[in-house]
Chains A and B, each alone.
Chain A
Amino acid sequence: MSQTAMERKTVNLEEIELELLLEGIYQYYGYDFRNYARASLKRRIRKVLEGEGLSQISALQNLVLHDSAAIQRMLLGITVNVTSMFRDPSFFLAFRQQVVPLLSTYPYIRLWHAGCSEGQEVYAMAILLQEAGLYDRCRIYATDRNERVLQRAKAGIYPLGLMQQYTQLYLQSGGQHSFSNYYTAAYDSAIFRASLRENILFSQHDLASDGSFNEFNIILCRNVLIYFDPVLQQRVHRLFHESLCRFGILALGRQESLRLSPYAPDYEALVKSEKIFRRLS
């Protein structure tokens, strides 16, 4: 670290407390948040402090290490599961126009959706693949660290109130059908068609600690890496590199890149503006 960088880092007690908290949680419970991006994590931990009526992170450490209900509350409080169907419709449009033609020559397509949250993005992709006539050839592995959101993803039931917005986004993403064909309305819920789920396997996988489990033609990981620091990002990029076959597709979030990936030279940008890359070697 350069002299100026040292100076800029004023010794900060809260940082030290945060470090100790994350280390304690890792050693005792095995959940590894040590390499999550600090500024956004700190914000959420302060929220947890507020909720618990505490003012110091060291007090939270004491609480969560001795109280298994408190650690569960904290985990819920610090995980971000915000998601949507067809978030960034231009991405899905580019996928339809430029990735689908490449896939249509494949006899069999394996897709890994890493950090799938409550599943909206997975169902959106399933709809797209059905419309492209590729779904029957696909096997989709949708994973997340968080068991609770995976349960929701498996159910495929979302608030009916969101459907108007999703319909708009679906149309902007190049959807040609009537979006309401894909779900059944029941009370306040939209229940998505079971046929969309047929080839999806939901399972728990932690990008911070688990290894590669298959070889894929496509890996989608959007708005997950922004929560990781450069060290953890490199780990995940290695994992993706190990799990992606030659000429496989890697799709990241709109504001993410391969800049911190040691494997960047092995990829070419297929659709630069949408962060869709293809592995060349």
Chain B
Amino acid sequence: MALRLTSGSQPALIVIGASLGGLMALRELLQQLRPDFSIPIAIVQHRHRDLQQQLVASMQQGVRLLLREVEDKDELRPGQIYLAPADYHLLVEADCLLLSIDPPVSYARPSIDVLFESAADAYGERLIGVILTGANQDGAIGAAAIKAKGGLVLVQEPATAESAVMPAAAIAQTCVDAVLSLSALAAQLNEFCEVCEF
């Protein structure tokens, strides 16, 4: 089954949310992206206060695309992967990334819902959201917001996730477009990138 954005156009941004078990899952996913992958990716990974600083470095291992911890008003660039910094919410505007220290949402800062909802506002049909492993329900409301604005939502197959709660919550909350293993997710994202070259 070939997934397409309803607009038929190329995706402008991919947003990914991950929690418990996310570091391994993200690394596995990002490692399988083509070296010339050109769609910008913004990630919220919940993190424990202790492992705040080293997250970028440990996630970068084996990943060819460049990872960057977001600074205020960073512009979205093709082929860049943007990671929400510890203790800040990450939001998306039409042409840049925003940070805020608003209170945590459902105990989370950064919050996946906050990222997804703002991205859905900014990019509508040209957005792809991905929910990976996690032991809470963050991202479910955000995934519904992406669907409501015409974007696509892909979810890690709960049975293959270290913690199935978060993917299952997204699936229960909204009509997601595909439920896939990590390799199948990577293949799917690579395919979107092929579309965008023609």
Contacts and interface: CB of A to CB of B under 8 A. Distances in A.
B124 A226 contact: no
Contacts of A40: 89, 91, 98, 100, 102, 118
Interface in A21-56: 37-40, 42-44
A226 B96 CA distance: 12
Nearest to B13: A8
A8 B72 contact: no
Contacts of B73: 37, 230, 233, 259-260
B177 interface: no
B114 interface: yes
Given A82-B101, A226-B98, A39 B72 contact: no
B71 A39 contact: no
A15 B99 CA distance: 20
Contact of A9 (B72, B91, B94): B94
B72 A225 contact: yes
A257 interface: yes
Interface residues of A, number: 27
A3 interface: no
B35 interface: no
Given A37-B93, A39-B92, A255 B72 contact: yes
A39 B101 contact: no
Contact of B101 (A37, A42, A223): A223
A42 B102 contact: no
Contacts of A16: none
Interface in B121-160: 121-124, 126
Interface in A1-19: 5, 8-10, 12
A226 B93 contact: no
Given A82-B103, A226-B100, A255-B72, A5 B95 contact: yes
B12 A8 contact: yes
A230 to B, nearest CB: 6
Given A40-B100, A82-B102, A255 B88 contact: yes
A8 B98 contact: no
Interface string A59-96: 00000000000000000000010100000000000000
Given A42-B118, A43-B114, A259-B73, 10 more contacts: A8-B94, A39-B118, A40-B98, A40-B100, A42-B121, A44-B102, A255-B70, A255-B72, A256-B71, A257-B71
14 contacts: A8-B94, A8-B126, A39-B92, A39-B98, A42-B118, A43-B118, A80-B101, A82-B102, A226-B72, A227-B100, A255-B70, A255-B88, A259-B71, A259-B73
Interface of B: 12, 69-73, 85, 88-89, 91-95, 98-103, 114, 117-118, 121-124, 126
